[in-house]
Amino acid sequence: MIKPFHLAIPVADLTKATIFYESVLGCSRGREDEHWIDFNLYGHQLVCHLSNSATVQISNQVDGDNIPVPHFGVILDFQEFDALAERLRNNNQEFIVEPRTRFKGEAGEQRTMFICDPSNNAIEFKAFANLDTLFKP
């Protein structure tokens, strides 16, 4: 059984973060304070902390796409991935990288997409054809 991770990220506006994580991504809210909110991101604890500091990003070229660094994400199954991609489109979410398949027909075949939250935190969602290839070279 995979254990849930805990990740704390800076956000500029807790109200906008709440709308995004609850309404756009479908996360449920956990504990909260005036300076932070816990969200259940596919069974993982994501904590949005109010911050005056902007998230700084660089990007690296991966398969012809500018991939933002830092970024975080969740690995879903294909059905969850497709449902989330549709949900994001229905919520007029702008993609950094549109949903697509990498390594088609090869070991490590995966779907991937990138978005940003309202505070410019980059998020990647992936789905593998065979999860056993997650860490295979």
* pLDDT tens string 49-87: 999 876 677 889 888 888 989 999 999 999 999 999 999
What backbone torsions phi and psi does residue 19 show, to the nearest 5 degrees?
A: -60, -45
- Comparing CA positions, the residue from 108, 106, 114 lying closest to residue 65 is 114
Q: 58-133 belongs to which homologous superfamily?
A: 2,3-Dihydroxybiphenyl 1,2-Dioxygenase, domain 1 (3.10.180.10)
- Residue 124: name the closest of 103, 92, 98, 106 by CA: 98
Quote the pTM value. Answer: 0.91
Which segments of the chain belong to CATH 3.10.180.10? 6-50, 58-133
Q: What is the pLDDT confidence band of residue 100, given thresholds at 50, 70 and 90?
A: very high
Write out the E strands in 25-118: 28-32, 36-41, 44-50, 58-62, 65-69, 71-76, 95-102, 110-116
